[in-house]
Amino acid sequence: MYRLLLILGLIAVPAVATAQTKVKVGTVRATVIGGVVSAQTRGYFKEAGIDVDINLIDASAGFVPLLANNELNVVEGGVSANLFNGAAQGLPIKVAFDSTSTPINHSLMLRTDLKDRIKSIGDLKGRTLAVNAPNSIALYEVTRILETGGLTLKDVDLKVIPFAQMAVAFETKAIDAGLEITPFTALLPKQGLAIAWIDSDAVVKPSPVMISGSMFNTDWAAKNPEVAQAFFTALLRGVRDYCDAYHGGAWRPELLKLLVANGVATSTELLDTIPWPARNPDGYVRRESLLDIQHWYVGQRLVRDELPYERFADDSFATEANRKIGPFKLAANESGKLGCGK
């Protein structure tokens, strides 16, 4: 009998040791997905006892309800009015990490044939300007860019055109300017359609600007505090791998393949030649930027009230993750790029 119990015990122990807790994550198809896919591929989640289910999503704003309903435990995506409105309504959502911040490598593109006629932001008055979505974080950037030339959104003819379709709009002269992201900031000049005119990173304040974050369901985290902390600690390890790859580190070739496999770009060659947006390798949310974005949403009447920072953000996961894994040390010190730890 003892021998039988011993055999059963030996069989049972590995089953317990390898049990994994499921965490459901939604993330957009963008370069910064490299943090979560690095953590998954390199086994950081597995080491933490977590089985992460990554769901690729098209836009974060529409997924705030999924986060609030705990259909997704964590969402990495754009800072939308829904984040602040949800927090104001008492929904269980907060942001724990920065997931895209300066340099974000966005540019206000100008139609090539206008480069000798439009010399300053003030010259855009009465012109047609495109953003990718109504009431988006891109519109916040455009607002701040226009303000440097004494203009407001009312001074331009605003059109909503997805990033991938702006090339056609430039070609047909349906727009004069438009805010674009990579890889389009690199592709449009090569096609002779538009030039990268105003660098968003250079003019939008306060800086660093944070345009997306890692948001989480606070009820889920409260019921599973150890799992939530383990997730964000493992994620931070992946974010630091992303930052090393950003600066040309040894993980870059493998990460290029993973990003292409997840639909971020069509080829590793293309992705290797375009600038990547940065992330904070310490994870922390960019407080001043988020407060300014919330203020802008209130001014646009998309958010009713300005909330204190603690109502929509939680720095505790980043603090504990940094305590556990220590300070970030960049492996690829030869990089001349700014951001992601430099």
pLDDT in tens, 195-250: 999 999 999 999 999 999 999 999 999 999 999 999 999 999 999 999 999 999 99
Q: How far apart are CA 116 and CA 121, in angstroms?
A: 13
96 and 212, same structural domain?
yes
184 and 117, same structural domain?
yes
213 and 297, same structural domain?
yes
Burial of 158 (0-12, 13-18, 19+ CB in 10 A): middle
Nearest one of 299, 96, 304, 130 to 210, comparing CA atoms: 96
Q: Give 7's pLDDT tier (boundaries 50, 70, 90).
A: very low
DSSP code, position 64? H
The total domain count for the chain is 2
- pLDDT tens, residue by residue, 299-316: 999 999 999 999 999 999
Q: What is the mean pLDDT of residues 117-133?
A: 95
* Contact call for residues 141 and 150 (beta carbons, < 8 A): no
Q: What is the mean pLDDT of residues 133-155?
A: 93
Query: Residue 152 is part of which domain span?
Result: 107-203
Task: Report the CATH number that the domain containing residue 185 is assigned in CATH.
Answer: 3.40.190.10
* Contact call for residues 35 and 184 (beta carbons, < 8 A): no
User: What's the confidence (pLDDT) of residue 60?
Assistant: 55
Classify residue 295: in a domain, yes or no: yes
313 and 223, same structural domain?
yes
Classify residue 341: in a domain, yes or no: no
Classify residue 118: in a domain, yes or no: yes
Nearest one of 266, 263, 220 to 28, comparing CA atoms: 263
CA angle 155, 143, 148 (to 5 degrees): 85
Q: How far apart are CA 319 and CA 321, in angstroms?
A: 6
221 and 73, same structural domain?
yes
- pLDDT tens, residue by residue, 281-298: 999 999 999 999 999 999
138 φ/ψ sector (left φ>0, alpha ψ -120 to 50, else beta): alpha
- pLDDT tens, residue by residue, 91-100: 999 999 999 9
180 and 286, same structural domain?
no
Q: Give 29's pLDDT tier (boundaries 50, 70, 90).
A: confident
Give this prediction's pTM.
0.89
Domain boundary among 140, 173, 203: 203
Residue 1: CB atoms within 10 Å:
5
Domain boundary among 185, 203, 221: 203
Nearest one of 289, 328, 335, 325 to 95, comparing CA atoms: 289
219 and 74, same structural domain?
yes
Classify residue 331: in a domain, yes or no: no
First to last CA, the chain: 63
Q: What is the mean pLDDT of residues 117-125?
A: 96
